[in-house]
């Protein structure tokens, strides 16, 4: 998830676990910042963007990393924040455990996922049920946290606010896993009803919400795809197709092609622009700029520019969200008409 969401979650967990015992509002700010520390792997220097994308959310998000550092961090934080030892070491150990665990677990709900078992396995745990920025999760939790912060003199009441909302927000996350399974079932039934042959399919949320879903089914030469709102019926699915053109990647270095396949989990389509540059679209991330225009850019793409008869990887580029028609998006979610 985004850094703001992680910071809000960290401050909320501190409120519930140690606020009563320590009672310092400065610590809330510290833990809000600390909760984003695992994402500092973005500061590691890599040779190219593919290396960065492949290893992001690996060691710093893994269970091994957490196990190696839990006790040390618990000791250090207790010594810094709680010199009088108002809270036990087990309280601090629980706090540090939740620091790592909730951060990584929250990332598991996104499309990109988390390499929880790194370095023993590079498999990413990704439920693909929540977009990386989910305003419906973050804003209410932030509001409740601010309310609790203002009521710091009544610690019992403030802690109840945050505890209840943490439970609600957690339920919200798992609720959308259920919705994902529902959309999955709708899509599968649609493909079967229309006798569409496919090898596999995926569903994922669209930017900033969990109501509108992106559907993609793979065949030998192309992908079928479409948008589906949780307020739609299956009759409103109208698939279009996108050619794979994986052969375009035969002209780039083999190891980079293998990285793309690994990163996208083989859900990618390739195209060429007027300058003969290669554009690799990651189909797990939907289209960002154009819920109405099915031919618009994809959210996440890699560009290999042709320079001196050779292809050179450019920094990853994303579609411009501002190009999206917000009013159309709202209509598409709630009352779609062909």
Give 61-90 pLDDT, tens digit per residue. Answer: 888 888 887 788 888 888 887 777 788 888
The token pair at 191 is 């493909």
The token pair at 62 is 């893994």
Query: What are 44-60's pLDDT values in tens digits?
Result: 666 677 877 777 788 88
Task: Count Cα atoms within 13 angstroms, Cβ side, for 234.
Answer: 13
pLDDT score of 323: 46
- Torsional class of 235: left (φ above 0), alpha (ψ -120 to 50), beta (otherwise): alpha
- For the chain, which residues score pLDDT lower than 50? 321-324
d(CA 171, CA 183): 18
pLDDT score of 200: 92
Domain boundaries, the chain: 3-177, 196-338
Model pTM score: 0.82
Cβ of 178: how many Cβ atoms within 10 Å?
10
Measured at the CA of 199, the angle between CA 195 and CA 204, to 5 degrees, comes to 95
The token pair at 124 is 């990413």
Q: Whose CA is closest to 244, among 270, 216, 226, 262?
A: 270
pLDDT score of 152: 67
Burial of 42 (0-12, 13-18, 19+ CB in 10 A): exposed
Dihedral of the alpha carbons of 138, 164, 168, 162, in degrees to the nearest 10: 10
């Amino acid at each position: 998830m985004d850094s703001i969401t992680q910071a809000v979650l960290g401050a909320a967990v501190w409120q519930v676990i140690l606020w009563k015992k320590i009672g310092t509002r400065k610590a809330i700010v510290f833990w809000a910042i600390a909760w984003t520390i695992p994402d500092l792997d973005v500061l590691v220097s890599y040779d190219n963007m593919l290396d960065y994308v492949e290893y992001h959310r690996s060691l710093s998000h893994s269970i091994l990393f957490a196990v190696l550092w839990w006790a040390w961090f618990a000791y250090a934080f207790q010594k810094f924040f709680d010199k009088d030892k108002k809270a036990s070491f087990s309280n601090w150990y629980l706090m540090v455990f939740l620091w790592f665990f909730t951060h990584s677990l929250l990332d598991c709900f996104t499309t990109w996922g988390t390499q929880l078992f790194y370095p023993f396995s590079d498999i990413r745990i990704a439920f693909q049920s929540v977009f990386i920025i989910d305003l419906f999760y973050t804003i209410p939790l932030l509001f409740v946290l601010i309310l609790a912060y203002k009521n710091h003199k009544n610690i019992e009441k403030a802690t109840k606010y945050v505890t209840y909302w943490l439970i609600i927000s957690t339920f919200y996350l798992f609720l959308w896993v259920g919705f994902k399974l529902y959309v999955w079932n709708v899509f599968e039934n649609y493909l079967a009803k229309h006798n569409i042959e496919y090898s596999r399919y995926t569903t994922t949320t669209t930017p900033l919400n969990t109501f509108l879903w992106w559907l993609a089914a793979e065949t030998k030469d192309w992908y079928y795809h479409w948008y589906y709102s949780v307020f739609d019926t299956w009759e409103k699915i109208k698939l279009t197709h996108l050619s794979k053109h994986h052969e375009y990647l035969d002209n780039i270095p083999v190891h980079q092609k293998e990285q793309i396949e690994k990163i996208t989990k083989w859900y990618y389509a390739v195209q060429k622009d007027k300058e003969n540059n290669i554009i690799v679209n990651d189909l797990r991330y939907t289209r960002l700029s154009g819920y109405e225009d099915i031919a618009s850019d994809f959210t996440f793409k890699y560009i290999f520019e042709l320079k001196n008869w050779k292809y050179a990887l450019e920094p990853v580029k994303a579609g411009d969200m501002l190009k999206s028609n917000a009013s159309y998006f709202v209509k598409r979610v709630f009352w779609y008409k062909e």
